[in-house]
Amino acid sequence: MGLISRGFTGRRREGAEDLPPGQYLTHDFPVLAAGPTQRVPTDDWKFTITTETGARHEWDWAAFTALPRDEVTVDLHCVTRWSKLHTDWEGVSLDTLLADVETSAHYALVESYGGYTTNLPLEDLTDGQAWVAFRYDGEDLDPEHGGPARLLVPHLYLWKSAKWVRGITLSDHDEPGFWESVGYHNYGDPWREQRYWE
Amino acid sequence: MTDDPHGETHLDGNAAAGTLAELFTFDVTVAVGRCAGCGRVSTVADTRSYLDGPGMVVRCTGCDSVLLRVVSSPERTWLDLRGLAYLEVDHVTEG
């Protein structure tokens, strides 16, 4: 006797249960551009963390790639409404990069080659929430997707995961970045659908 | 579509006309602007526009600096012109 019915649960679309509100699932990896693709040779690449006192911590490519690296599988949510699930990355955790950085700052301004910036609270970069990623899907990260290295902060909309990242400036005050200064939400939590200025 | 030395594909400023026409009552592509970055003076048509991002970005052909940005939500539009030192618009004359 058929006591168990699936009829009341409805039929869910593939992956819909894993998507933030207003997002659709995509399987390719769209490239969004606010300017020309930066092509930074790793010989010239540097990553710098500058604290609120002006202290600088700098890595060249050799020093950066010698750091302990994480392999992570994360979901990406772009504010233009596509989401891509279970993406595989390799990168250095911001916890590792910040380990020897003395700071009491609350805010971070992320800066990229090419002039792009994005801002977020420093606490969103720590505790295993953010990486400077340099490999995607088992290969070196393409310049189109932000290589040689990009920020990866998957719990916020993807514009926060700055491509071609070159440094982070820590500060006591919050400074809106490239999109945050012209209509996009200052924080950008996809699960609360924080797309635009409120 | 224009190829630049970086192998990029972008459009010229005429591609920005549709979005900008929703904001300005004049044809902004024939307006003349000065880049706040390098000082280059050109028509808005003679720029590089990037339409594939979260918003529209118009950049200087000379130095790649951002001249203007437009972000639209379903309810409103934001326009950032800080990259333009000025914008010169001819009066429309009869005749």
Parse chain A into domains and list their residue ranges. Answer: 44-192
Give the torsion sign (CA, B45, B64, A170, A89).
positive
Domain A44-192 falls in which CATH fold?
Sulfite Oxidase; Chain A, domain 2 (3.90.420)
pLDDT value of position A12: 44
Give me the residues paired with residue A87 across strands: A74
Q: Please tell me which of the candidates B6, B50, B73 has its beta carbon nearest to residue A183.
A: B73
pLDDT value of position B21: 86
Mutation choice for B interface testing from A77, A182, A197, A198 by most B CBs within 10 A: A182
Q: Please tell me which of the candidates A32, A37, A115 has its beta carbon nearest to residue B53.
A: A32
For residue B1, name the pLDDT band (cuts at 50, 70, 90). Answer: very low
Give me the residues paired with residue A58 across strands: A48
- What tens digit of pLDDT does each residue of A106-160 get? 999 999 999 999 999 999 999 999 999 999 999 999 999 999 999 999 999 999 9
pLDDT value of position A10: 39
Whether B75 shows a pLDDT value over 50: the answer reads yes
Rounded to the nearest integer, the mean pLDDT of chain A is 93
- What tens digit of pLDDT does each residue of B15-73 get? 998 888 888 888 889 999 999 999 999 999 999 999 999 999 999 999 999 999 999 99
pLDDT value of position A27: 95
pLDDT value of position B92: 74
Q: Which residue has the tokens 């279970």?
A: A86
Parse chain B into domains and list their residue ranges. Answer: 2-88
Pairwise CB contact (< 8 Å): B78 & A79: no
Q: Please tell me which of the candidates B10, B57, B71 has its beta carbon nearest to residue A184.
A: B71
Q: CA of A146 to nearest chain B CA: how many angstroms apart?
A: 14
Give me the residues paired with residue A89 across strands: A72, A136
> β-strands A24-25, A82-93: how paired?
parallel
CB-based contacts of A57-65 (< 8 A; 24+ apart in sequence): A57/A97, A57/A100, A57/A101, A59/A97, A61/A148, A64/A92, A64/A132, A64/A134, A64/A149, A65/A134
pLDDT value of position A17: 62
* 3-state secondary structure string across chain B: CEECCCCCEEEEHHHHHHHHHCCCCCCHHHCEEEECCCCCEEECCCCEEECCCCCEEEECCCCCCEEEEEEECCCCEEEECCCEEEEECCCCCCC
pLDDT value of position B23: 85
> What average pLDDT values come out for chain A (198 residues) when binned by 10 residues?
39 63 97 95 98 98 98 98 97 98 98 98 98 98 98 98 98 98 98 97
pLDDT value of position A6: 39
**Cα B68 to Cα A61: distance, rounded to the nearest angstrom:** 34
- Which of A 23-62 lie inside 8 A of B, CB atoms? 31-37, 39
pLDDT value of position B71: 97
B71 shares contact with chain A (CB less than 8 Å)? yes
pLDDT value of position B3: 47
**Cα A162 to Cα A132: distance, rounded to the nearest angstrom:** 9
Q: CA of B91 to nearest chain A CA: how many angstroms apart?
A: 29
Complex confidence, ipTM = 0.87
